[in-house]
Amino acid sequence: MELNEVTITRAIIDRFHEKLRDNLDVDVAVVGGGPSGLVAGYYLARGGKKVSLYERKLSVGGGMWGGGMMFNEIVVQDSAIHVLDEFGIRYREYAENYYTADSVECISTMTSRAVQSGVKIFNCMTVEDVMMRTNLITGLVLNWTAVDMAGLHVDPLVIRSKFVIDATGHDTEVVRVVQRKVPGELKTSTGKIEGEKSMWAERAESLTPENTREVFPGLYVAGMAANATFGEPRMGPIFGGMLLSGEKVAGELMERLRA
């Protein structure tokens, strides 16, 4: 049978709209497809929760593809090796408590496992705002990244979620919007974003999971966004904290969603 271009077009439009329509009301909306967001999404979806993930760029992966300074290897320490095992990602011991993995294998495997577990990834979409009710974040305001890049005056669309995870990395974009536009204070010591500090790998890695928590009712922070929100240092291309952060936020939200 001769291939019909209009059928190809219709298939894409129908299938994409089906995916979009089925995810207008979700349990958890993850903002950012870096390692922390992908790991969080994977564990939640594997636990049976409805999860959508929004990524501004064409490809997910955030800061992981490039390893350190484009040397595409990453380092993971003992405490997070079980997450690599869970995903089936290969690694090699380099020294005691230092393991290396291929960053391309890491991110491609995490992405594949997350999607196959049920996470719906929407790439090329930018989260520009949140939906709010009194003292509560209830969803996300979305637009195409291309609209943003072109500076077009086009109104966004909205999805509702029981919880939002800000996994936007160094920029803490969702928390920043909440600080600017939502009445009330963040659950930090000053009520504001504390701001990321300079490099200190040991401190940053040990505090990333601790900083992974609810920062405003309905809004959690994970990954580098957690450290930036709570005023802790960066850690460079060691990724155990990112993996543990994704695992932790998923565990906490599984509990909250059970309640």
Interface residues with ligand 48F (CB under 6 A)? 31-37, 54-57, 62-64, 126-127, 167-169, 171, 173, 223-225, 234-237, 239, 242
Q: Tell me how far, at minimum, the Cβ of 219 lies from ligand 48F, in Å.
A: 13
Q: Rounded to the nearest whole angstrom, what is the least distance from the CB of residue 173 to ligand 48F in the complex? A: 4
Please report how close the Cβ of residue 224 comes to ligand 48F at its closest, in angstroms: 4
Smallest CA-to-CA distance from 230 within 166, 137, 184 is with 166
Nearer to ligand 48F, 184 or 237 (CB): 237
**Shortest Å distance, C-beta 38 to ligand 48F:** 8
- Of 37 and 139, the one with the shorter C-beta distance to ligand 48F is 37
| Cβ distance to ligand 48F smaller for residue 139 or 169 | 169
Q: Could you tell me whether strands 157-166 and 136-144 are parallel, antiparallel, or unpaired per DSSP bridges?
A: antiparallel
Opening angle at CA 223, ends 72 and 238, nearest 5: 35
Half-sphere exposure of 84 (CA within 13 A, CB side): 23
User: By C-beta, is 11 or 157 nearer to ligand 48F?
Assistant: 157
| Smallest distance from ligand 48F to CB 207, Å | 13
Query: What is residue 232's three-state secondary structure?
Result: coil
Closest separation between CB of residue 121 and ligand 48F, Å?
A: 11
Nearer to ligand 48F (CB atom), residue 2 or residue 155: 155
Q: Which helix (H) or strand (E) holds 139?
A: strand 136-144
H helix or E strand, kind and range, residue 157: strand 157-166
User: Residue 97 is encoded by which pair of tokens?
Assistant: 């408590």
- Minimum distance, C-beta of residue 5 to ligand 48F, in the bound complex (Å): 32
Q: Which is nearer to ligand 48F, 6 or 58 (CB)?
A: 58
Q: Nearer to ligand 48F by C-beta: 114 or 242?
A: 242
Q: How many C-beta atoms surround the C-beta of residue 259 within 10 A?
A: 4
Q: 145-179: string of b/e by CB count within 10 Å (b at 16+)?
A: bebeeeeeeeebeebebbbbbbbbbeebbbbbbbb
* Phi, psi dihedrals of residue 25, rounded to the nearest 5°: -140, 105
Which residues face 29 on adjacent strands?
A: 52, 164
